[in-house]
Structure 1
Amino acid sequence: MAEQKQSSFGAFINAKILPPIMKFVNTKAIVALKDGMVYALPFIIIGSIFLILNSFPITAVQEWFKDIGWSVFFNQAYQTTFAIISIWTVIGIAYVYARNEKQEALPCGLTALSVFLLLQNLVVNSPLVSAMGKDGAGITDAAGKVVYTGTQVAEQIDKLPQVIQNYLTSPVTGAINMTWLGGQGMIAAIIVGLLVGWSYTAMAKAGWKITLPEQVPANVANQFSAMIPSGVIVTVSMLIYAFFAKAFNTDMLQWIYDVLQAPLQGLSDSLGGALILAFMVVFFWFFGVHGGLIMGGIGGAFLLPNTADNAALLAKGELTLQNGAHIVTNEFYNNFINLTGSGITIGLLVFTLTAAKSVQFRSLGKVEAVPGIFNINEPFLFGIPLVMNPWLAIPFFMTPVVVALSTYLVIYFGLVPPTGVAAPWTTPPIISGFLIGGWKMALWQAIVLLISVAMYWPFAKKYDKYLCQQEAANEAK
């Protein structure tokens, strides 16, 4: 009867719930978003490596790098990879959109980058503004040591004529603001990438292009084909920039951040956001749909900016919740919600390797042993299977939720630090914890593994007994 109810419920989900969700997930925009953001991942990982070196979890090593002057080089590598995540995002999304529409993709991606830069004020504050005053950062040398305090800087500036003071503290024009190239520009980058991808391909399909004679080399002709769509998009973007400047005395990126990104990041960074994310990953997987790809693609739009914001704080040595650090980041998702694979199935693996009596469990445990260390658990998802399996549904659904809740709380109460760097998602547990948050994070990951064992063990034991009975019945036939 229970299995019949489960089958009826599964049929309802597959017939009524999943089709509209999958239709949404497979729209052109969502596919471009999901696949386009992947282009940023290598730079996030590479930049994180240098950020880890610059903020090494062992204080003595960190200080040694500063003393020998290498911290500035590590920071340079971080600033040109992870810190400009929005550039990789806007190019990647527009590129994938055009590629999927069978259009010349690179010109579309470069047009999106041009628009992304055009829509922001090319102005940055004078570094003296943040250096001056009692709470100012002061002036540092190449190794990051303060050579002039904020008070000392202010005292020296005050001795100068007012005209020179105004000149020194006025904003610097003609400069690209690094703030918008990082996490704070992510939602704007997504919007620009999608709109440019859509409008560029629409014009290209409509034949808005300059056609050159056949004798002209293809690589040259392709660039002329891109000229009209790119020119129209850039012109419209200039008018949008002018509208925001004249009407609101701001730029579009600042407006998007204030109206959209800040509220959405707040929602994603909440306890409720963490629990929904943890539940939805296994919800999709339970019905045979790749929950990791779906939630990683959609959630990444908000989680990656959270990680980037934390990385910027870590680079300044200010990664604390009091300074605005986020709890729920992309690393929270990868290294806790999906630790050892969707459903956090390490507990099930431990049972199959140490206590299972059925041939099916023991055999699949051996197959999963190595992949499980590297956070890959498809052998369990489809081999046991966990998909549509009522025996293991409770721990499969609840383990990620319990881990998301407890991890949020230990970070919230300061027992474990927030994460500011990324590690490859295949990095084994405990090692990944150390890399992204030091020994405290590594210790907490070890505790999470024990939570998984405790959650799965009683249910796996009952299911193993059922499998043994099935195997015995089959042998008796």
Structure 2
Amino acid sequence: MHKFMDGLEKYLLPIANKIGNQKFLVALRDSFIGTMPAVMTGSLALLFNAFLVDIPGQFGWTGFINSMTWLADLNSLIFRGTVSVVSLIFIFSLGVNVAKIYKTDRLSSGIVAFSAFIIAIGNSVSSTFDLTQAKGDLSAMFKGVEGLSVHGHKLSVTVTGLIPGAQVNSNGYFTAILIGFLAAIIFSKIMNKNWTIKLPDSVPPAIATPFLSIVPAFISLYVVGIFITIFNHITGELLIDWIYKVLQTPLLGMSQNFFAVIAIAVLTQLFWFFGIHGGNVMAPIMEGVFGVALLANLDAYQHHQAIPYLWTSVSYSAFVWYATLGLLIAIFWQSHNSHYREVAKLGLAPVLFNIGEPVMYGLPTVLNPLLFIPFILCPAVLSGVAYEATALGWVQPVTQNITWVMPPILYGFFATAFDWRSIVLSLVNLALATFIYLPFVKMADHEKVAD
């Protein structure tokens, strides 16, 4: 066992440290975190509407729903200004965090990244309408009308001069990542080369800083604009549509694989075991893939559409990460190890709000060979059970972004938009975690621990 642990530590720690310290991955992680105030506010607004509309609607309380229409409309407005435009929020955050790496003007970098993304997503919206029931010759009726085309009984309408709403929600995340890095890196590198407009020292910084950014912004945006124009001309489609089709959709599809869900859980826990913040190391994947799935589910739930993804970043929080609570239950139930019991007493309150560090470092579970197997096995089992329960339709997919300090069991209930079956699943997973840890906790009774 010790040889195995030494081998893992020898080969895994350097990789984890490189990932955790890679400056662009850190910028990506911090950019996702930067969107949280807006995303969480929009998510809560959607959750409030479940109390005001969805749940009362199940009981036929139309009077209450009608009286709360004004508040439901306000919540919908908040949602449209946050989650529905999350790519716009993210791209600005990414520009700011890239500028931190190069120690250049953060505000200007955020604005440049934002502008570059707008360049990439086009400026037209198209819709197709079925006019099968219409009488007369549609081709003759709409002949010569700009923005309209007829194919049989299908009428296609294209409106230009608009920001496409379907491109600025979660659908635009991958394009925002690529374009944001490109634009902000070019801007920052040119700023550091001092290809700027020189102003006298007497000019106040509030005026001088924007002027210094003009040339770098000009070059960065024109490079992005030329690249987008050439790409669109060669492929015949927008870059954002191509990325969504070729990159984003396949990656999201692979993330919904049973083994991928378990692998991410195990890797996250494995990093934690060696004292490395697993959430930070895995954040680019967790938020860049599973986080996008969550936002897509949020949007579908808001518009009463079919939920597209079974598993999201919050699915782990709702049904997996509270395994430490199972460890504490096992300790209180069967352990006679005075050290374990004392740490369990001190760590219970934090763990009930998903703060596991006191137990991880106090027991410890970090670098504890005795608890290595259950520490890794628990997230694998809990992820697999929760995934299959969702895939079989026994529990609704997670559609709500819940604050991370929500207590276990309630977490799953709120995250699935009040599916009572999630409570059963949470209790089952908690029982599994307890029984997985139990034999290893009992083994700790034989350790020589000073009373």
Local SS of the residue matching 2:367 = coil
Aligned 8 A contact 1:182 1:305 in 2: no
- Mapping of 1:157-196 within 5 angstroms? 161-163=141-143, 166=148, 169-196=156-183
Distance 1:101 1:448 in 2: 45
Report deviation, 1:353. 3.1
Tell me whether 1:301 sits opposite 2:288 in the alignment: yes
Tell me whether 1:52 sits opposite 2:53 in the alignment: no
Report deviation, 1:77. 1.1
Aligned 8 A contact 1:119 1:240 in 2: no
Report deviation, 1:238. 1.3
178-187 vs 16-25, which deviates more? Answer: 16-25
Report deviation, 1:169. 4.7
Tell me whether 1:267 sits opposite 2:254 in the alignment: yes
Once the two structures are superposed, what CA deviation does each residue of 1:386-435 show, in whole Å capped at 9, x if it has no partner? Answer: 11212212211111101111111111111101111100111111222221
Distance 1:93 1:408, change over 3 A: same
Local SS of the residue matching 1:117 = helix
Aligned 8 A contact 1:125 1:171 in 2: yes
Counterpart of 2:35 in structure 1 is 40
Report deviation, 1:218. 0.4
Tell me whether 1:277 sits opposite 2:277 in the alignment: no
- Mapping of 1:133-282 within 5 angstroms? 161-163=141-143, 166=148, 169-282=156-269
Local SS of the residue matching 1:345 = helix
Counterpart of 1:423 in structure 2 is 402
Which residue, out of 330, 346, 350, partners 1:371?
350
Distance 1:409 1:54 in 2: 29
Report deviation, 1:370. 0.6
Counterpart of 1:460 in structure 2 is 441
Tell me the TM-score normalised to structure 1 length. Answer: 0.85
Distance 1:49 1:396 in 2: 32
Report deviation, 1:55. 3.6
Distance 1:244 1:181 in 2: 20
Once the two structures are superposed, what CA deviation does each residue of 1:340-375 show, in whole Å capped at 9, x if it has no partner? Answer: 2xxx11111112334332220111011111101111
Once the two structures are superposed, what CA deviation does each residue of 1:30-51 show, in whole Å capped at 9, x if it has no partner? Answer: 1111111111112221111111
Q: Which amino acid aligns with 2:334?
A: A
Tell me whether 1:328 sits opposite 2:325 in the alignment: no
Structure 1 residues without counterparts, runs of 5 or longer: 135-150
Aligned positions, number: 436
Tell me whether 1:396 sits opposite 2:375 in the alignment: yes
Local SS of the residue matching 1:392 = helix
Aligned 8 A contact 2:27 2:94 in 1: yes
Local SS of the residue matching 2:310 = coil
Tell me whether 1:93 sits opposite 2:88 in the alignment: no
Counterpart of 2:22 in structure 1 is 27
Q: Which amino acid aligns with 2:76?
A: N
Aligned 8 A contact 2:183 2:224 in 1: no
Once the two structures are superposed, what CA deviation does each residue of 1:69-119 show, in whole Å capped at 9, x if it has no partner? Answer: 343332221111112221222111221121232211111011000000101
Aligned 8 A contact 1:346 1:449 in 2: yes
Distance 2:298 2:136 in 1: 33
Aligned 8 A contact 1:335 1:432 in 2: yes
Once the two structures are superposed, what CA deviation does each residue of 1:454-474 show, in whole Å capped at 9, x if it has no partner? Answer: 2111221221x124xx13xx5
Q: What do you get for the CA RMSD once the two structures are aligned?
A: 2.4
Tell me whether 1:405 sits opposite 2:392 in the alignment: no
Structure 2 residues without counterparts, runs of 5 or longer: 150-154
Distance 2:191 2:309 in 1: 41
Q: Which amino acid aligns with 1:389?
A: N
Report deviation, 1:24. 3.2
Distance 1:157 1:385, change over 3 A: farther
Aligned 8 A contact 1:95 1:108 in 2: yes
Distance 1:46 1:353 in 2: 38
Aligned 8 A contact 1:429 1:446 in 2: no
Once the two structures are superposed, what CA deviation does each residue of 1:313-336 show, in whole Å capped at 9, x if it has no partner? Answer: 10111234xxxx111211112222
Local SS of the residue matching 2:384 = helix
Aligned 8 A contact 1:55 1:315 in 2: no
Distance 2:85 2:368 in 1: 43
Q: Which amino acid aligns with 1:391?
A: L
Report deviation, 1:67. 3.0
Distance 1:425 1:319 in 2: 26
Counterpart of 1:146 in structure 2 is none
Distance 1:245 1:292, change over 3 A: closer
Q: Tell me the percent identity.
A: 27
Counterpart of 2:152 in structure 1 is none
Q: Which amino acid aligns with 2:19?
A: F
Report deviation, 1:241. 2.1
Distance 2:423 2:43 in 1: 17
Distance 2:320 2:111 in 1: 35
Local SS of the residue matching 1:124 = strand
